[in-house]
Structure formats: structure tokens, C-alpha cells
Chains A and B, each alone.
Chain A
Amino acid sequence: MNNTVIDAHNLTRIYDENTIPVYALNSVHLHITKGEFTAIKGPSGSGKTTLLNMLGGLDEPTEGYVNINGTNITQLKGNKLIDFRLNNIGFVFQSYNLIPVLTAQENIEFIMLLQKRPKAEREQRVTELLKEVGLIEKAGKRPGELSGGQQQRVAVARALAPKPQFILADEPTANLDSVSAGNLLDIMAKLNREEKMTFIFSTHDQRVIDRARRVITLEDGKIVSDTTPAPLVHTNS
């Protein structure tokens, strides 16, 4: 049985092709299977963000392709690509994830509205998700009234709402204190464990790296180490 969620082949991204070419990514091959909890680490400028943008269909590779569950997203354009992202990929960015004029609850609901989900389903799922990230009592608060860590938890809930194939998080804890960072990681790990949600996150933070089950290290746009994935919890039993 094929559990591959992402198959990235020969990913190369060159900036400033015409002057001095910068290889932000250099022939990266990567397989992500369902249920992974994977960290991408590496020094600043090593290509973490570039790689995540490729996997999320936000940026086009100069060479190579990304295949997600059998769809070559490198060939998708315009609205098709946007729709694909909406329905298949959850995003958590470093900060300012949320629409400032919508409440936590509305921010989560908004993405399901984009999916044209019926109202009853949306409302039920919003409540469910807010409970999962422990923010049910903050449902009516706007991002400005939430702490950085709470905002990131709402962002995770929103990423989860459309039931994506996987969630990409580019340095989700970079702006958080260690307690909030630990909290966020707890929630992500719980979702990974209980809902088999696949997470791929980039980070500088060793404590975050320690929580990952697979760690990919980038340097100068190349994968220099990739720890063997630990056996998946759900395949044991």
C-alpha cells in the first residue's frame, strides 16, 4: 500500500538566473508519507522556506516537480492551483496568519466558506477545532486580543479545518516564547497522533527539532542529512 503523500523530485530553485545564480534549492529529492511529523532544519538561507513553498505550491521550481497524492502540482496554474491548495494543503506561517478583523472562530470558518461547506458543518467543525487547540473560550476574540501563541493555535486550527493532506508550517514557533512554543508543539503532536495529520515544519529551535520524528537538514539548498523516520505509531498495533 502506497502511503506517499508528497513526492518531490529533483527540486531546484535558482534565483537571479541572469546575474549570479543563487541555488536556493539544489536537486532535492524528498518523500513524505502519511502521518509523518517532520522537521526541516538548517542555517538561515539554507533553503527551508524555499522548500516549503515548493511543497505547498506557492512557488515554482526551476527544475523538478512536486507530486501530491498523484497530482503533479508543478503543472497546475491559476485557480486550479489555488483550489488545490485550499483543499489539500494546510498552511501555518511564522506570524500574521489571521485576518485581523475576524474573530478566531470566523477565521477558522472563513476557509471552510472558501470551500463552500454548508453552514451547519462549518459551525460544528469550528467548535470541534477550537476545542482541540484549547481555545473554545476565545472563540469571539480577534487576533489582536490573542497572544502570539494563541494566534498560532488558531492558525493551526484553520490549517486543519479544510481537512488537508498535510500541514506545512514555516517556523511556526519563531515568534513565540518557549512555553507557548511547547504548547503549540503539544497540540501539533496530538493532532498528528490522534488524527494522523501529517506535519512538515521548519525550525531553528532545537527543542522543536527534538519533538520531530524525522529531521531533514538542509545546507546551501541541499539535503545533508535525513534521519530515518521512526516507525509510525499507528502501524504498530
Chain B
Amino acid sequence: MIAKLTWRNLWRNRRRTLITMSSVTFAVFLAILMQSFQKGIFDNLVNNVVSFYYGYIQVHKQGYWNEQVLDNSFFYDDSLVMKLSGNPDIKGITPRIETFLLASVGNTTKGCMLVGTDPVKENLLTGLEAKIVEGKYFTNNEQAVLIAEGLAGKLKLSVDDTIILFGQGYHGAMAAAKYPVRGIVHFGSPALNDGLLYLPLTQAQFFLSAENMLTSLAVGIHEPEKMPAIQQQLLSVMGKSYEVMNWKELMPDIANHIKADGSSFYIFTGILYLIIAFGIFGTILMMTAERQYEFGMLIAIGMKKISLGKMLLFETLLITLLGVILGLLISLPFVFYFDKTPLRITGKMAEAYERFGFEALFPAAVNSSIFITQSLIVLVIAFLIGLYPLWHVSTINPVLAMKK
């Protein structure tokens, strides 16, 4: 009967209840959609960032990141492999040797970044093979290069042409050789597209007189959430003579961009919830004022104040709960849709993204925790507001309440 009473009380002022409910619905819908986009974009961005070149974590010789020269490389042997292979959270490790040198074809010479890498492991981390636009991917023992599209254009190179590389190897050794072009790869980022050149790892080490030397290990992991723990673990395993950096440290600009986006989201949802809180509070305030006489009558005939207060709290929670459920239901198809069909943005923002080498796609993440947290937040707000009538009722004097 109390349930019946609560339910019917809800509809005493049908319009007000509907307005309150729909404002809750709208807030929940907006908050869920925004947070889903926030997370979707963030995940997408991070995924882009780590998979376009660096990986989630990189291991270098101590000091390499500040002075990126071959002489700051480290010796890669089985004991090091052993140390790293233990952690099941690590998806894969790509060994690389990287250095700047000159590439020339005919009379044209350009500076470029040579990346010696393990073709299989590189492909696992960055999907390099999929970036081939012409020619083929290379294998471990091949003496051939993959060249970025922009660089190839400047050198007027096509597949099967020969490129001459020369520069400085390990400890000042002379390095010069010529290689056929096996494939041409496309990068979204102009910096990479105009500058990258890949050799199989052993070939690069040989060319640079740096047998078994590496400049970096790029680490791929299964769950992004575990990155801090993995970084910590690597730090302790590797010891002081290595530096272990995560992608945020490797690319602070992008990390900052993502962080700034996050805080503005929190401010926005905060304001949204504040508005909703005032909306619900206004309704509750009007409702308690209107029903003053009735409250007095109920207390007079013998209803305990706490029972009356609880009933009113449930009314508030019920209005909110209905609004929340509706908001959830409405947001579901939107979130699923934008997960499958990301928003594609254009203009300045898109350019900025493309400069980093990312597609300007804004997908929404389907994440049950978002639905749950946003709903809970609104319900907690409603609960706190629902405490007001509880307090109000406790102060009612039935004689005064029933005075007209």
C-alpha cells in the first residue's frame, strides 16, 4: 500500500513529475554520451599514439632520450631477453636500432631516420605491413629497405629501385651501402612519412657496425590500464643503466592534450549535474510546500515522521530512477551507433590530429562502467536531495502545518 501511495503521489502533479524526470533523462543521456565519446576518443588516440610508432613503453639505455645517438645504444643478449619475457601482461617487444643518416638516389640526397627492426615483431606492434602502399613487406634476412612514401617521392624512388645510404655507424665507424627498395609505406604523420626508412634488424646492425646493439625496445601490452605497473616492474628488472619511459613521457604534447580534454569534460558534467540537482531540488521544494497540510494531517493521525520522510525520499528516488532508466535506454542505441560509426571531424581539429598521424575519428566507447557510474552519480544526487524532505518533515508541527 505504501508502494501504491508512493507511486500515486508521484503522479499528483503529472506535468512537474514529467519535467523533472525528463531533465534527469536528458542529463543522464548527455553525460553517458559525452563520457562514452571521451573514453572512445581517448582509447582511440592512445591506440593510435602507441601503435603508430612508439608502443606503450620504451626501454633505452640511460640518457638516450636526451641524446639520441648510436653511441647511446645498448647490448642486446639472451639475459636481457630472459629478464623481459617473464611478464604475462606484455604482449610483445620490438627491438630497434635507430639513427639519422643520408639517403641518396642519383643527384638527390635527403636526411632520413633509419629504423632497423625485427619485421615480424614490428608488424605485431605497429602493423607496418598494412601500411604498405606499393611493393611487399620485407623478411628478417633480406637486404632490402622499406621506405616512407613522402621520402620516396622526394627521392623519386619506386619499388625495386636502388637507394644509397651513408652516414656514421657505431663508435664513428663509416657506414655506406646500397639496398633495393622492397616496399613503400604510408604514414599519416608528415614527419614520419617524409623521413622513415626501415631495414631488417640484423642487416641494420651490420650496416652500422653495431652487432647486437639496440637503441630501443618498444613494448606492447595487453591492457592499457596496467601500464603503470608494467613500467614499474620493468624499471626494477632493468636497473639503473636503462631508462623505461611510457608513451606519455615520450610524447608529452599528446598526453597533455588528452588530459586537458578530460578535465573540461568533468567540469561540463559537473555543471550538468548541478543543474539537475537544482531541478530536482526545486521540484521537491514545491512538492513539500504544497503538501504541507497533508503532512500535518498524517502526523496528527499517527504517522511517524520518519515513515513519512522515507516515503518522500522514495518518491524522489523513484522519479530519478525512472529518469535514469529512460536516459540509459535512450543513450544505448546512440553509443552503439557511434561506436560502430565514429564521427569524422574536419577542419583545424582534424588537421591537428592528422599532424600527429591519426585519423580524425571520434568513436564512442561502449563501456558498461560508464552507464553504471553515470546512473549511480545521478541516483546519489537524488538521494542527497531526498534527505531534504526527510529533514523538513522532522521539523513539522502538525498544528501549524494544518493552519490555513
- Chain A interface (Cβ < 8 Å from any Cβ of B): 53, 56, 58-59, 79, 82-83, 85-87, 91, 93, 96-97, 99-102, 106, 109-111, 113-115, 158-159, 162
Contact = CB atoms under 8 A, between A and B. Distances in A.
Contact of A96 (B12, B293, B302, B304): B293
A82 B293 contact: no
Interface stretch (B1-9, B190-198, B261-269): B1-9
26 contacts: A56-B300, A58-B300, A58-B399, A79-B304, A82-B303, A82-B305, A83-B302, A85-B300, A86-B302, A87-B302, A91-B300, A93-B402, A96-B297, A97-B297, A100-B12, A101-B8, A101-B9, A102-B4, A106-B1, A106-B4, A111-B301, A111-B302, A113-B1, A113-B2, A114-B302, A114-B304
Given A96-B293, A109-B1, A162 B302 contact: yes
Interface in B147-163: none
Contacts of B299: 82
B9 A58 contact: no
Nearest to A102: B5
Nearest to B298: A99
B400 to A, nearest CB: 9
A82 B304 contact: yes
Given A93-B297, A97-B297, A110-B1, A83 B8 contact: no
Nearest to A87: B302
Interface in B388-404: 398-399, 402
A110 B402 CA distance: 20
Contacts of A56: 300
A98 B4 CA distance: 16
Contacts of A114: 302-304, 307
Given A99-B5, A101-B12, A110-B1, A82 B302 contact: yes
Interface string B364-400: 0000000000000000000000000000000000110
A86 B294 CA distance: 16
B391 to A, nearest CB: 15
Interface string B96-112: 00000000000000000
Interface in B1-51: 1-2, 4-5, 8-9, 12
Contacts of B4: 102, 106
Contacts of A115: 302
Contacts of B298: 99
Nearest to B303: A114
B293 A59 contact: no
A104 B5 CA distance: 13
Given A101-B9, A110-B1, A85 B301 contact: yes
A162 B302 CA distance: 10
A102 B4 CA distance: 9
A141 to B, nearest CB: 14
Top-10 shortest CB links A-B:
A86-B302, A101-B8, A85-B302, A59-B399, A58-B399, A91-B301, A58-B398, A82-B304, A53-B399, A79-B304
Contacts of B398: 58
Contacts of A53: 399
Contacts of B304: 79, 82-83, 114
Nearest to B301: A91
Interface in B171-190: none
Nearest to A110: B1
A85 B302 CA distance: 6
A97 B298 CA distance: 9
Contacts of B294: 96, 99-100
Interface in B265-305: 293-294, 297-305
A107 to B, nearest CB: 10
Contacts of B300: 56, 58, 85, 91, 93
A133 B299 CA distance: 24
Contacts of A162: 302
Nearest to A85: B302
A46 B91 CA distance: 90
A236 B8 CA distance: 50
Nearest to B7: A101
A101 B297 CA distance: 14
A87 B303 CA distance: 11
Contacts of A111: 301-302
Contacts of A83: 302, 304
A158 B301 contact: yes
Question: Which one of B5, B12, B301 has the greatest number of beta carbons of chain A within 10 Å?
Answer: B301
Nearest to A159: B301
Contacts of A101: 5, 8-9, 12
A110 B301 CA distance: 11
A167 B42 CA distance: 70
Given A85-B301, A102-B8, 18 more contacts: A53-B399, A59-B399, A79-B305, A82-B299, A83-B304, A85-B300, A85-B302, A86-B301, A86-B302, A93-B300, A96-B294, A96-B297, A99-B5, A101-B5, A101-B8, A111-B302, A115-B302, A158-B301
